[in-house]
Amino acid sequence: KKVSAAAMSLCMWVRAMDVYARVVRTIEPKKEKLKSAEASFAEAEAKLSAKKAELKVVQDKVAALQLQLTRAKSKAEKLEQDADTCQVKLVRAEKLLGGLGSEAKSWETKSQELDKNLQFVVGNIALAAGFIAYAGAFTAEFRSNILGRWLAKAQEVSLVADPNWKCAAVLIDPSESREWCIKALPSDEFSIENGILVTRGRRWPLMVDPQGQGNRWIKNMKKDKLGVIKLSTPNFLRALETGIREGAPILLENVEETLDPSLEPVLTKQVFKKGGQMLLRLGSEDVPYNDAFRFFITTKMANPHYLPEICIKVTVINFTVTLTGLEDQLVVDVVANERPDLAELRASLVVQIAADKAEMDRLEQLILKLLSEAGADLLADDTLIVTLDQSAKTSTQCVERMVSADESMKEIDEVTEKFKPVSTRASIIYFVVADLANIDPMYQYSLQYFADLFQMRLRKSEQSKDISRRISVLLDDFTSFIYVNICRGLFEDHKLLFSFLITAQILRHKEHARFINKCPISPMEWAFFLRGVDAANGVLTEELDTPAPEGIPAQAWKRLQILEPLLRFEGNHALEGMTEEVAADTKWQEFAESDTMYSEELPGNRDSTLTPFQRMLLVKSFREDFLQLAVRNFVGAELGNSYIVSPPFDLAGCFKDSQKTTPLIFILSSGADPTDALLKLAKDHGYEDRLHFISLGQGQGEKAEKLIKLGRETGDWVCLQNCHLAASWMPALERIQEQQDPNSTDDMYRLWLTSMPSPTFPVPVLQSGIKITNEPPKGLRANLNRTFQDIEPEMYEGCSKPREYKKLLFALAFFHAAILERRKFGPIGWNVPYEWMDSDFQVSREQVQMYLESQAGVPWVTLNYIIAEVNYGGRVTDDKDVRLISAFLHRYFNEELLDDEYKLSPLDAYYAPKEGSLEEVREYIRGLPMDEDPQVYGLHSNAQITAQAQAARQFLDTVISVQPRMSSGGGGKKPEDLVTDMAAGFLERVPELMKKKDAHPETYKKTPDGGIVSLGVFHSQEMDRFNFLVSRVKSTLVTLGQAIKGLVVMSAQLEEMYNSLSIQRVPPVWGEPVSYPCLKPLNSWFEDFLQRVEFVTLWLHDGPPRSYWVSCFYFPQGFMTCSKQVHARKTKIPIDALGFWTEPTEIADYKQAPAQEAGQNVHGLFVQGCGWSLARKEMEESEKAVLFVQLPVIYMRVVDRETMEKLTKDPGRYGCPLYKTSARKGTLSTTGHSTNFVTYFQLPSMEQDQGHWVRRGVALLCMLDD
């Protein structure tokens, strides 16, 4: 390479050629051999191809034969399969025919029903929509009523609906309602409708649920996820938010009449879409809204009044238990106690039957689904056939079980039916007990509490194998037990009322009354008892104007004339011929004048033909003031005398019946203090040091809560006093009671509560507690006895002047008892019923002893002043009562008291005992009469009639207050028709407005200075007031008529007016301040109203009258002032120096009164508490049973101050107060005048001591109450 590149290349070529030569010499022989081998291979390959061709021919033959074989086999298999399928289809066809055959009858029936319902579908759905929207708040009876009217209206407008339309048949599957019943919803139709309203309404339900049935049902239905909240629950909105977010149901319990404004978005479902998500604004947050969310609201209020703003946002549902529904519930308890085996069997059968029916329904739905999905070949789906087969077997088993169950249920129903009267009685009594809450807010009893008492008496009552005997025992035992148990929580005035309502409601239930072999009270009898002669409105059309026979009061005769045809109207002839008999037989006149008619036999053997209730109606017709005495006899005759005797106060028994979780509630009344009784009970149980008292008030709530917590841990007793003074803390008390844990509470722990009746006291606490009343003793003897039982011998003998001290002490105790008992006579006793306490007596007693010890004689004047006007008078707010209490004490505290012969009343039995021991005085008190004459209290015997009449009115008003709204009751017009006719009748008689242009020249006569005479100004003001009242009466009557017809909205004011007219009450819209004070019933008020307008109109048209009907004026004080002003202008004497001196005349007819120069004649006044001698022109004692006397024309002479002072020195004049109404009590109005008291009239008297008339309660009245 270094020498020559060419040489190098040549060398490389030579070497390569050498290598090539060596390789070629090696390869060439091998090529020869390869060529030879390939030739041999080609030859062999040719032979192979020939052989393969031969093989292919053979294989093709074999393949053809194989294909032929396969086809033959396939054909054979198909034939076999077709044979098998045919066989299977034959079997399936048999099963299908068998399965569908078993359903054929039911499907045919359902098909017919569907065909029938198809024609009703539009009408049915329209009714269902109306039912869901409107019917929830109504009672079962009213729902049935409106449905009947809707069906009639649907027929009118050619809207075809099922004549036998039922809510459950249209809106719910039977299996669902059965499931509800298993979850504690009562099975009656009303409750099922309520369940539909809860689940089908578009608005959230608000359940009026005083017995807690709806609450319990919701909790059972949704128990897995349900959240329970209250408005008092802290952060309740947080729990609500969680429910909305997670789609959980929420139950809001125990709401009142107002709802929290923060619930507004939930109630109105203000859901909106944002960012593809459904939201609801709750408070200040947007909460994701889950469609599965459900909201339920319940209230325990029995009769809440929700404003329209709430009603349009929720579905208000009346879940109040019905009589039938409660009967069905309670009879289960009876059977469970009497035949537990049948009860267990029934419970299992109910579940079994429900399960079987549900399974059959499920299978039916599945079969129909499979049939619809099966296509053309029904036999191809094995699932359908298997399902049908199972269905047939299951159906057969279910039918067999149901037949067996029906037989068992029939046996159970027979036993149940035998015990039904027991549950009926209990249901009747429960509704009476529930109605007590309308009388006093403290009378609250839950259904659960009542049911527990019922079950307890079932266990503890006398046992008997004789079913009839056992039922009789249960009826008597439970009625008696409930009477005693409930009475211990009732005030004395309501105990007779309670026993009467029990008796009356038992007898008003026809089937139950006949079961106990009693004559039922008919609807007309009950209507007459409640409404008197007004019960005939819309029922009797004939005029009954026969004059009353001699000796029979006109009012009594009118009632008798109404009562007889009223009973005859409904086919009751018990009083047939009564009016003729009363008119013809003088014995009836003697009966009418008797003061003991309520206990005497009826003339003419009527006792044997009348029921006790009819007899009571007769007594009520003759003398309404004897109503309570007649009621007492009625209850005694029908239920027994044990129901007219108040059960004794039994605190130990109440404690025995209580549990650690049961509060014991003292319902207080004025003058009663249960502290001593509670301390004694604590001492008897060794709890003197473990009874803790705390008086509630501002800042005491936290201390009370700590004390309750301590008591639960240690088993001490805690007494929270005066709960009514801590209204703001009552929700906390409710929360504490609801959250108590029985497992962590000592068994001996008890919570005692004391409260005056208060609407703020929590209802759940009341319903779960034992209520106890402890009233002060009633009656003079009882009060004296209690007073001297509290006086110790050392106190009685502890004065250095024993004779004077003991006389004065007894007189003071007598005075204390008498002024307390005088309250029962109403306004004639005291204008205002004051609450004097034992402390007033104790202070006065100490002062009597102090003055006797410190002074030589008895300081009568000082003691009279100190005791009457300071100690006792300090509580007196009415100046007429101040005068009375001074005159009252003077009757006992005077020098004659020290004379052993001196009587403390006109009756000989009452005097201050001679000086002796304390035991002798107690013995004397025990010997005093039980029945006390009103003369003991300084009143006339007629005051007893006044007191009884007032008590009778109050008794009757209370009975009416617990009754449902008036119905036509067995016949006659509907209530709305009665009210419409009444309103139309009133409207026709309403006078036209008075106009000044029609005035007589003398009415508004001008004075010399150009003004109108004072009496003219007064008339003008009165005329304006009456014109306003006339306009109000006319406009409201017109509007009410339109509202009843549905032309305008029935507002709350119009509804109140409707209710007032229906029960003969003056509508509030016609009352004060638009009208004048008046206590008359509606018809009397309207007649009086027309007469007043007529008098003012006559004054307008004819000029000033000779005598003025002073009672007719709105403001009679103004008339007095204007009369003095007229005289003042005439004589130039200042009006402040003038006064009225009353001079009664002999003129009875005011039209004959002469004109007066110095004053005015007035007429139309009535005197109460005394009589009037027309001949002597002076007061005298009342005649028997004459309560009011109309005075003749009285000349009110205007005199100057000097003359007045001379005239008033006459001791034979009584300063008689004049009141507008018999209520006497008034308030100080903005004009500076009393709303009731007018002025004093100086009436001539035959008595020198005018304190006699003061104690009699004599007063003048502008009008009577009838």
Contact 168, 193 (CB under 8 A): yes
Answer whether 0.85 is exceeded by the pTM: no
Highest-scoring range by mean pLDDT, 49-58, 103-112, 223-232, 771-780: 49-58
Percent above pLDDT 90 for the chain? 39
Burial class of residue 578 (count of CB atoms within 10 Å of its CB; 0-12, 13-18, 19+)? buried
Check whether 321 has a pLDDT greater than 70: yes
H helices within 570-674, ranges in order? 578-584, 586-593, 612-622, 627-638, 651-657
Of the listed ranges 296-310, 779-793, 957-971, the one predicted with least confidence: 957-971
Check whether 968 has a pLDDT greater than 50: no
Mean pLDDT of 790-794: 87
Mean pLDDT of 310-331: 89
Render pLDDT for 1220-1266 as a digit per residue (tens, 0 to 9): 999 998 887 665 667 889 999 999 988 878 889 999 999 999 999 88
Q: What amino acid occupies position 1177?
A: K
Burial class of residue 598 (count of CB atoms within 10 Å of its CB; 0-12, 13-18, 19+)? buried
Residue 299 corresponds to which tokens in the numbers above?
């209230």
H helices within 516-577, ranges in order? 523-531, 554-569
Check whether 455 has a pLDDT greater than 50: yes
Residue 55 corresponds to which tokens in the numbers above?
């093989």
Which pLDDT does position 604 carry in this prediction? 80
Render pLDDT for 478-511 as a digit per residue (tens, 0 to 9): 999 999 999 999 998 899 999 999 999 999 999 9
Render pLDDT for 92-116 as a digit per residue (tens, 0 to 9): 777 666 666 666 677 777 777 778 7
Mean pLDDT of 913-934: 89
Residue 341 corresponds to which tokens in the numbers above?
């085996």
Which pLDDT does position 350 carry in this prediction? 72
Contact 477, 457 (CB under 8 A): yes
Render pLDDT for 565-612 as a digit per residue (tens, 0 to 9): 888 888 888 888 888 888 888 888 888 888 888 888 888 888 888 999
Mean pLDDT of 62-68: 90
Render pLDDT for 244-299 as a digit per residue (tens, 0 to 9): 999 999 999 888 888 888 999 999 999 999 888 899 998 888 999 999 999 999 99
Q: Could you give the count of Cα atoms lying within 13 Å of 1199 in the half-sphere of its Cβ?
A: 15
Per the prediction, the chain carries an average pLDDT of: 87
Say how far apart CA 1238 and CA 1233 lie, in whole Å: 8
Q: Say how many C-beta atoms besides its own lie within 10 A of residue 607's C-beta.
A: 12
Give the neighbor-by-neighbor strand order of the sheet with 664-667.
691-695, 717-721, 750-755, 664-667, 770-773
Check whether 1065 has a pLDDT greater than 80: yes
Confidence of residue 379 (pLDDT cuts 50, 70, 90): low
Read off the DSSP letter of residue 469.
H
Check whether 1055 has a pLDDT greater than 70: yes
Which pLDDT does position 196 carry in this prediction? 93
Which pLDDT does position 1227 carry in this prediction? 80
The SS3 of residue 750 is strand
Of the listed ranges 82-86, 239-243, 642-646, the one predicted with least confidence: 82-86
Mean pLDDT of 394-404: 73
Mean pLDDT of 23-48: 87
Which pLDDT does position 717 carry in this prediction? 93
Which pLDDT does position 131 carry in this prediction? 92
Residue 842 corresponds to which tokens in the numbers above?
């104790």
Check whether 970 has a pLDDT greater than 60: no
Residues 6+ apart with CB under 8 A from 727: 758, 760
Which pLDDT does position 1232 carry in this prediction? 60
Which pLDDT does position 986 carry in this prediction? 93
Backbone angles phi, psi at 1257, to 5 degrees: 75, 30
Which pLDDT does position 1179 carry in this prediction? 93
Render pLDDT for 1129-1166 as a digit per residue (tens, 0 to 9): 888 889 888 999 999 999 988 888 898 888 899 999 99
> SS3 letters for 116-144?
HHHHHHHHHHHHHHHHHHHHHHCCHHHHH
Which pLDDT does position 969 carry in this prediction? 45
- Cα angle: 904, vertex 905, 910; to 5 degrees: 65
Which pLDDT does position 103 carry in this prediction? 64
Say how far apart CA 156 and CA 92 lie, in whole Å: 54
Check whether 16 has a pLDDT greater than 50: yes
Which pLDDT does position 1041 carry in this prediction? 92
